[in-house]
């Protein structure tokens, strides 16, 4: 069993992960619209992984015999000036998610819920990877994005990202 405070913050995190999926999907639509189909695919894959992140929390709450409460998802429909700005927004967003996960970890420690604290390690590690991966994409767009030929090749490379179903065990 998890207490009310822990249950509440985990449900909020589900909402943020699903919100992330929505944001990545909006980015994917924008990128497809400007012809960057590879980067559109990359963000769509990320959107699917965010749903997996939400589902890992969802299953954990149910496993601990607590109530899942799904809240409305609200995002701002942002305008982007190009792929560099999309990367910058992704990085900014992922840093916000990292802070949010940090708060979950702190709360579980305060509440002496060490099982949930241990569970949250998966998310702490995932955030390191997510921040690092978008920074690499950002560097590449900054280095090669201004030439049409290299932009084409970079977009092609991003289109090769494969979706792998994210689980707590993976
Ligand atoms: Fe699930 Fe991108 O944080």
pLDDT in tens, 92-101: 999 999 999 9
Going by CA atoms, what residue is nearest to atom 2 of ligand 1? 94
At 75, the pLDDT band (50, 70, 90 cuts) reads confident
Query: Ligand 1 mean position to 67 CA, how many Å?
Result: 22
Domains of the chain: 4-159 (1.20.1260.10)
What is the pTM assigned to this prediction?
0.96
Residue 1: per-residue pLDDT? 86
Q: For the residues of 41-105, what is the DSSP string, one character each?
A: HHHHHHHHHHHHHHHHHHHHHHHTT----PPPP-------SSHHHHHHHHHHHHHHHHHHHHHHH
CA of 130 to the centre of ligand 1 (A): 7
Query: Could you report the per-residue pLDDT of 115-155, keeping only the tens digit for each?
Result: 999 999 999 999 999 999 999 999 999 999 999 999 999 99
CA of 53 to the centre of ligand 1 (A): 7
| pLDDT above 90 (res 170) | no
Query: What is the pLDDT averaged over residues 61-66?
Result: 97
Please, are residues 61 and 2 in contact by the beta-carbon 8 Å criterion? Answer: yes
Reported as a single tens digit per residue, the pLDDT across 9-36 is: 999 999 999 999 999 999 999 999 999 9
Whole-number percent of the chain with pLDDT over 70: 100
Taking the centre of ligand 1 as the mean of its atom positions, its distance from the CA of residue 47, in whole angstroms, is 9
Ligand 1 atom closest to the Cα of residue 20 is 2
Residue ranges lining ligand 1, Cβ < 6 Å? 17, 20, 50, 53, 94, 97, 130
């Amino acid at each position: 069993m998890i207490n009310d405070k822990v249950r509440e913050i985990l449900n909020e995190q589900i909402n943020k992960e699903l919100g992330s999926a929505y944001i990545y999907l909006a980015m994917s639509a924008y990128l497809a619209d400007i012809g960057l189909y590879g980067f559109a695919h990359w963000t769509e894959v990320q959107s699917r992984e965010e749903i997996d992140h939400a589902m890992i929390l969802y299953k954990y709450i149910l496993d601990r015999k607590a109530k899942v409460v799904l809240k409305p998802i609200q995002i701002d429909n942002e305008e982007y000036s190009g792929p560099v700005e999309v990367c910058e927004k992704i990085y900014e967003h992922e840093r916000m998610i990292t802070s949010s996960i940090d708060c979950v970890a702190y709360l579980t420690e305060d509440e002496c819920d060490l099982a949930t604290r241990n569970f949250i390690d998966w998310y702490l590690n995932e955030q390191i990877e997510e921040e690092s991966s978008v920074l690499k994409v950002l560097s590449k767009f900054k280095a090669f994005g201004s030439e049409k030929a290299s932009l084409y090749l970079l977009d092609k490379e991003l289109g090769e990202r494969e979706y792998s179903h994210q689980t707590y065990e993976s």
